[in-house]
Structure 1
Amino acid sequence: MHVNEYRKKLLNRLRLDIDVVRASGNQLYTRNGTIVRDYLAQYGALPFGHNPPFAIAAVTDYLNAEQPVFMQPNIHRDAIALATKLGSAVGPGYTRCVFTNSGAETVEAAIKLARMRTGRKHILSVVRGFHGKTYAALSASGSRRFKTEHIHDAEAYTHISMDDAATLERELSSGRYAAFIIEPVQGEGGMCVVDAAYLRAAVELCAHAGTMSIFDEIQTGLGRTGHLCVATQYTLKPDMLLFSKALGAGVIPIGALLCRETAYTAEFDRKHSSTFANNGLAATAGMAVLNKLLMDDSCALRHVQDMGRLVDKHLERITADFPAHFTAQGVGLMRGLELRDPAATANLTVNFCQNSGALAYVICGYLLHRHNMFTMPLMSQPCSIRFEPPLNVTEEDIDHFFHAFTEVCNLLKNGRYDILFSHLIEKNPVSCPPPELCFPVSELPDLAKTIDAGCTLNKGKKFAFLIHGTSMTDNIRSFPYAIRANYSQDELNALCQQIMGIAAIDFAPDIGVEFGVKSATSYANGMLIFTPLGPEEMLALPRHEKINLLKQYLDIAHQEGVEIVGLGAYTSVISRGGEMVLPIAGDAIITTGNSLTALSTVESIKSLGQQARAPQQIAAVIGARGSVGKVVVMALAHSYGRIILVGRKGGESDVLHAIMPSLFQLAVQTDDQVLPGSVFYKIRHWLAAHGLNVQAPLHDADIKQRIAALALEALAAGENIQCGVWADCDHDTVLKSADCIISATSEGKPFLGTLNLKPNAIVFDAARPFDFHRDSLHHIYEGGLVSQPGQVNYSDCNMVGTPSGVNLACLSETLALALDRVETHQSVGQNIDYQSARKILKIARQHGFEPMQYKTAGTNLEGQYAA
């Protein structure tokens, strides 16, 4: 039986799952005897730590007295007493209380009440606000992180920027909003403190517009900021105040909505109830924590203020010491600690981690395993971790935490990701060089950078290329230098497997690297959007998860204003050559890059000087039915005399029927040179022998259909061999027969050996991951490589480790089309038109992208590139 399998697996992979057998105060006692200090306090729901004696005593006494816990529809006297006490504590004006069982339920009740009171439906809230994960609460939340289609209302909820009073006034003046809901300090959104003047203006503007003002103090309320709540601190009277988390004293869930009489309607009471709300046990816990906060002239609140000032001193010191790496937000004992490494923007792994928030999880894991400190990231603010200890935290605990956190900042500043990531594979950090030694994150020169808007060249379209971890080799190549320098190969493999394992659980992509590209006439800026998810794992995703992954990629592209999207690696495969992406592409142009991948591979073959002998030779295309393979077949048919089409075992007939009609049509339509003795030369002769005038214009649809029909007749009669084309799905037989082999499958892993190859066979592997195992028996060329307009690297591993100025054709097609500002989708689907592919090759060459050139087969000459 699974209970939140996703979270369990993710925390296990991140090594953040701890087996706690006992908890007291801020200490967690694990099964292996370790004592871990808790700086998370259940996201603020443990105001005085775990199992606080005063709360345990209160609920124990209640239960020992055999008082009723639940007695609906009656309302327990202790619930009434708590409502009275809470209303009195926040000040006069609040006459109504609605008890709930959680924070999200409290938000739901507030929105429900506001709509019933005003007769309006629309709700206004702020960007990056968080109010819960139930339907209305999630809809009101201003973060996309937890939203997906069908689980939130995008029509009735509007989100505006925080502290923008002019926009708030303009929206409220429309008279359509039932409520404006805001956290005085954004919790998940980064612990951002809302300006007091803005909160005051919000209350006044809402009153003028007849809109209910709602302060969500579920996290700020009951001491977290050093005050009972922010509303009392600023002497503000919003229409509704929401409490939860700390109200349960850390022992039982409870929430409370306080509202002013003017915000109340009797209809709400008639139509709202809860089985478990108003229960006496929860009210007892709430009364206990309220008494604790207010006793001794609010001594507990003054302690929070004192500790907040101590935290301020630590944060001022860290900010001064690490101005480029650290910023902090928040107040009191709710802080967001954000870390960034400006030196890592060209490193695919680290920059993805800091953009996606994964680095925050790594840092939390480091604090847990190296310092026995437990905290977690902020969910809606990338690369930020929480400092949210119990309200009775000691000076010693605060000092210890920020000593450890300073250590993290130093490691980040020094590029010491070998130490920061070491716990993920249980590597002893002592085995690494001393932490004070500095390592560059990136060591590769000539990194392509974003091009300044003042560039005088023509501005192309903003691009995004979607990539993922195609192989362990590529992923390891993208690791920061300290890891590659200080880990053994086994450790590198283990870390790579761990990261790819994390991605298999949470595959959400994010920006990996941003850069620009220039041609002689134009420039374009864009990015690589990345997830470490491997090809086998991507292919294994259920269909709905594949669609979800593609949507996540496209969401980021849309957020960044991308105009052209290239589908790299297996994003093209799982989207059926881009066809599944078109409905969600919006205004963005889509390309798979498959046209240039195919034709650049064929152009590289030509550079080896084999064209003169091609009509007497056999070419084999493995993966001939795929979009790349099919274009390769069409290109090779101009010169090679015989072509073997290779598909999946038993699929000979399928691959012939998929390819032959297109071959026959192109044979008479192509404008490219057709060599005597080539497949196209033979097809033309066959067609002429069957009554077709191959010299006549062939634009008529009827003639095209006739050619396709003749192709099928040739197949039926077994005369495809006469035309130089046949299918054979036995790889060993094919490898023994072919003089030129191009492999372009979506197998996802190497599956072809070199043992059976003809001694002088030319082999190009255009697949990613490669189809061929690499060995010393036979040279394998890497297909689909293109020289770039400049000697630059796209990321510090140049994406897949190619030399400076060389990169993949699929990326190059995206860049060339962005520079050329194309207006239609390109290279989409399994049946790419050959003539359209040739146009893309022409566009690429116009902008300085040239297929990789080789001089001698089987050699790796200086200045040339071979895999």
Structure 2
Amino acid sequence: MTDASNVSAEEPQLAEPHLGAVLASAGLDAEYVRAEGNILYQRGEDGGEIPVVDYAGGYGSLLLGHNNPAITAYAKELLDAGVPVHSQFSLHPEAAELALALNRIVRRETGDAEPFFAVFANTGAEANEAAVKHAEMDRGIRLGALLESIGSGLAAVREAVRDGSATVPTEVFTRLGLGPHAAGAAALDELIDHINAHNEAQAQRPPVFLTPEGSFHGKLVSTVQLTHNEGYRTPFRALAAQARFVPLDQPGALRKIVDEERGTLLGLVVEDGQVRVSEQESPVICAFILEPVQGEGGIRELSPEFVREIQEVCAEVGTPVIVDEIQSGMGRTGDFLAGTRLGLRGDYYTLAKSLGGGLAKISVLLVRASRYQGQFELIHSSTFAKDGFSNRIALKVLELLEADDGAAYRRAAELGDRLLAVLGSVRDDFPEVVKDVRGRGLMLGLEFHDQSGAAAPPVAEAARAGLFGYLVAGHLLRAHRVRTFPTASAPGTLRFEPSIQLSDDDIAWLESALRDTCDIIRGGYQRPLALPTP
């Protein structure tokens, strides 16, 4: 067996070498040897441990901290007891218990009494992929039912015309662009053929997904097409259904897009002995998927007005709303669901990251009972989903979050307010460097002004290459032992997603580091950012 710590520096780097080079160029190629609470530890040259304050928080996965004692103790207990991890295609009472626990919390936060069925997965992207697949399956079933109903109606009209109880007015042919026709079986057959061809064309239209600009829902085949960043999406455009990206806070933009995509299914009915054309909405728009607080899009919270418009328009056309709470949920914003305060009510919810308590890889898709298709469980599966270990860890996480009447949520909100005040103070003192501070709870972002015209060449070059945020993150790590990263699709915005183990000293340490960094960026003392050694 090879000890990874003893791998020679001369050995070729075969594990994602390009990414390793990118990390090295920004000075982020650190190796961590231990983690506890809100601290990661590097090994110093003398063999001692160097603490690093972790504000990246596993991209939001560590609300309860690294190696939370209660969770690690429980994990050891499970492993020592020999709990079956892999017992696929059997009963999993702990999964049923977890689904009930999640339902109780969602019901409390949203006031929605309708149950949600749970489909388990491993990662947030996989939960979103399952949501997209289920929504498309549901759309296909609804479309098929509509076409079957229309077909039955056409058959009834054909029979009524043949037995003389109904006639086809000339305006019916004219309305459908067929020109004036005389009544008769042949003309009726042509009319029905025309309607069937129209409906078949509508049925063959690919599904359309709606999502806000700035969205990020994963990098799998389907979810990457729902991610606004073209760098992630464009190389794989041909592989999956496309999305329409809705501008944020532009009243009427969503309705305009929906009107552009709408489709109509035609049918025939008999009214007072006359054949009339009927129209029904074709379910072209499969789903609207959104994050209440956009994570990788720059820590941007949707406005209540935009959320209200989404709910209204989607209800009008029967489009389900998928609420992606992968990064914002599980209490990170001070509520179990970040969308609660926005008045957001979903037909689907996806949860992951902190659901695993920093140890287990688990995610879940919750589907409203009235939309749930049970056969989905037989055609969608995952080897590592719903395993005995992860489900039990997730139950322990919920127990810790809910303890003391939700003390963890209150802690996240209180720490977030204090941290936001510190970030706001830095912005106020360095307005030429910091453009904006935003977010809620322990999901905060600090956006820098464009530095492509900075006097220091390394800073200007990094900004023009879209790497300025990584350069700053590297400086914070090397010079101040503070760990954070830019958001993936807004590289000028640093993320701050620490755990509720964050201390007053950690917050003070960050403030000092940010102030020093901003002072350097604006040219204070003519000092450079700490660049990696070539």
What TM bracket, shorter-length normalisation?
Answer: 0.7 to 0.9
State the match for 2:412 in structure 1: 304
State the match for 1:392 in structure 2: 501
- CA separation of 1:347 and 1:56: change in aligned 2, threshold 3 A: closer
1:256-302 alpha-carbon deviations (Å, 9 max, x no partner): 11111122112322311111111111111111111111110100110
What CA distance in whole angstroms lies between the structure 1 residues aligned with 2:114 and 2:41? Answer: 45
8 Å contact 2:303–2:342 — kept in the other structure?
no
State the secondary structure of the residue aligned to 1:344: coil
**1:3 partner letter:** A
**1:170 partner letter:** K
**1:164 partner letter:** Q
State the match for 1:116 in structure 2: 137
Deviation of the 1:115 alpha carbon? 0.7
- The correspondence of residues 579-728 of structure 1 with structure 2, limited to 5 A, is none
What CA distance in whole angstroms lies between the structure 1 residues aligned with 2:389 and 2:503? Answer: 30
State the secondary structure of the residue aligned to 2:214: coil
- The correspondence of residues 259-278 of structure 1 with structure 2, limited to 5 A, is 259-278=367-386
Match of 1:285 among 370, 393, 412: 393
State the match for 2:85 in structure 1: 69
- CA separation of 1:380 and 1:287: change in aligned 2, threshold 3 A: same
Deviation of the 1:145 alpha carbon? 2.6
State the match for 2:189 in structure 1: none
Match of 1:382 among 482, 486, 491: 491
What CA distance in whole angstroms lies between the structure 2 residues aligned with 1:264 and 1:78? Answer: 21
Question: Is the counterpart of residue 19 in structure 1 residue 31 in structure 2?
Answer: yes
State the match for 2:225 in structure 1: 139
State the secondary structure of the residue aligned to 1:368: helix
- The correspondence of residues 190-201 of structure 1 with structure 2, limited to 5 A, is 190-201=298-309
1:718-772 alpha-carbon deviations (Å, 9 max, x no partner): xxxxxxxxxxxxxxxxxxxxxxxxxxxxxxxxxxxxxxxxxxxxxxxxxxxxxxx
Q: How many residues align?
A: 425
Deviation of the 1:152 alpha carbon? 5.7
Structure 1 runs not aligned, ≥5 long = 426-497, 499-867
- The correspondence of residues 771-786 of structure 1 with structure 2, limited to 5 A, is none
Deviating more after overlay: 136-145 vs 266-275: 266-275
Match of 2:348 among 231, 240, 255: 240
Question: Is the counterpart of residue 171 in structure 1 residue 192 in structure 2?
Answer: no
8 Å contact 2:222–2:241 — kept in the other structure?
no
What CA distance in whole angstroms lies between the structure 1 residues aligned with 2:57 and 2:285? Answer: 35
Deviation of the 1:396 alpha carbon? 2.3
1:162-187 alpha-carbon deviations (Å, 9 max, x no partner): 23341212223434210010111110
State the match for 2:53 in structure 1: 37
- CA separation of 1:340 and 1:4: change in aligned 2, threshold 3 A: same
What CA distance in whole angstroms lies between the structure 2 residues aligned with 1:369 and 1:37? Answer: 12
Deviation of the 1:95 alpha carbon? 2.4
What CA distance in whole angstroms lies between the structure 1 residues aligned with 2:347 and 2:371? Answer: 6
State the secondary structure of the residue aligned to 2:59: helix
8 Å contact 1:126–1:141 — kept in the other structure?
no
Match of 2:245 among 153, 159, 184: 159
What CA distance in whole angstroms lies between the structure 2 residues aligned with 1:165 and 1:212? Answer: 20
What CA distance in whole angstroms lies between the structure 1 residues aligned with 2:510 and 2:425? Answer: 14
8 Å contact 1:240–1:263 — kept in the other structure?
no
Deviation of the 1:191 alpha carbon? 0.1
What CA distance in whole angstroms lies between the structure 1 residues aligned with 2:71 and 2:396? Answer: 6
What CA distance in whole angstroms lies between the structure 2 residues aligned with 1:3 and 1:240? Answer: 36
RMSD: 2.0
Deviating more after overlay: 307-316 vs 146-155: 146-155
Match of 1:46 among 37, 62, 76: 62
State the secondary structure of the residue aligned to 1:138: helix
Deviation of the 1:8 alpha carbon? 1.6
State the match for 1:214 in structure 2: 322
8 Å contact 1:360–1:377 — kept in the other structure?
yes
Match of 2:433 among 304, 325, 328: 325
Deviation of the 1:188 alpha carbon? 0.7
State the match for 1:59 in structure 2: 75
- The correspondence of residues 793-808 of structure 1 with structure 2, limited to 5 A, is none
- CA separation of 1:352 and 1:14: change in aligned 2, threshold 3 A: closer
State the secondary structure of the residue aligned to 2:321: strand
State the match for 1:814 in structure 2: none
- The correspondence of residues 787-866 of structure 1 with structure 2, limited to 5 A, is none
State the secondary structure of the residue aligned to 2:298: coil
State the secondary structure of the residue aligned to 1:149: helix
Greater relative contact order (Cα < 8 A, sep 6+): 2
- CA separation of 1:330 and 1:417: change in aligned 2, threshold 3 A: farther
Deviating more after overlay: 228-237 vs 369-378: 228-237
1:338-370 alpha-carbon deviations (Å, 9 max, x no partner): 222568268765334224332211211111111
What CA distance in whole angstroms lies between the structure 1 residues aligned with 2:526 and 2:496? Answer: 22
- The correspondence of residues 285-684 of structure 1 with structure 2, limited to 5 A, is 285-326=393-434, 327-340=436-449, 344=453, 349-414=458-523, 418-420=527-529, 422-425=530-533, 498=534
**Structure 2 length as normaliser, TM-score?**
0.76
State the secondary structure of the residue aligned to 1:21: strand
Match of 1:8 among 5, 20, 24: 20
Deviating more after overlay: 132-141 vs 58-67: 58-67
- CA separation of 1:66 and 1:359: change in aligned 2, threshold 3 A: same
**Structure 1 length as normaliser, TM-score?**
0.47
State the match for 2:333 in structure 1: 225
8 Å contact 1:223–1:391 — kept in the other structure?
no
**2:40 partner letter:** L
1:298-333 alpha-carbon deviations (Å, 9 max, x no partner): 001101111111122212222221222212221111
State the secondary structure of the residue aligned to 1:146: helix
State the secondary structure of the residue aligned to 1:129: coil
State the secondary structure of the residue aligned to 1:424: coil
**1:133 partner letter:** K
- CA separation of 1:196 and 1:214: change in aligned 2, threshold 3 A: same
8 Å contact 2:324–2:351 — kept in the other structure?
yes
1:495-552 alpha-carbon deviations (Å, 9 max, x no partner): xxx4xxxxxxxxxxxxxxxxxxxxxxxxxxxxxxxxxxxxxxxxxxxxxxxxxxxxxx
What CA distance in whole angstroms lies between the structure 2 residues aligned with 1:346 and 1:36? Answer: 30
Question: Is the counterpart of residue 150 in structure 1 residue 236 in structure 2?
Answer: yes
State the secondary structure of the residue aligned to 1:96: strand
1:797-832 alpha-carbon deviations (Å, 9 max, x no partner): xxxxxxxxxxxxxxxxxxxxxxxxxxxxxxxxxxxx
Deviating more after overlay: 334-343 vs 156-165: 334-343
What CA distance in whole angstroms lies between the structure 1 residues aligned with 2:408 and 2:16? Answer: 36
- CA separation of 1:349 and 1:8: change in aligned 2, threshold 3 A: closer
8 Å contact 1:357–1:382 — kept in the other structure?
yes
What CA distance in whole angstroms lies between the structure 1 residues aligned with 2:466 and 2:504? Answer: 29
Deviation of the 1:3 alpha carbon? 1.5
State the secondary structure of the residue aligned to 1:147: helix
State the match for 1:509 in structure 2: none
What CA distance in whole angstroms lies between the structure 2 residues aligned with 1:128 and 1:236? Answer: 18
What CA distance in whole angstroms lies between the structure 2 residues aligned with 1:407 and 1:348? Answer: 19
State the secondary structure of the residue aligned to 2:365: strand
State the match for 2:273 in structure 1: none
Q: Percent identity?
A: 34
Deviation of the 1:107 alpha carbon? 0.7
Deviating more after overlay: 264-273 vs 177-186: 264-273
State the secondary structure of the residue aligned to 1:98: strand
**1:373 partner letter:** V
Greater radius of gyration (CA):
1
1:409-447 alpha-carbon deviations (Å, 9 max, x no partner): 111122667421x3423xxxxxxxxxxxxxxxxxxxxxx
8 Å contact 1:94–1:260 — kept in the other structure?
yes
What CA distance in whole angstroms lies between the structure 2 residues aligned with 1:199 and 1:355? Answer: 34
8 Å contact 2:470–2:491 — kept in the other structure?
no
**1:424 partner letter:** P
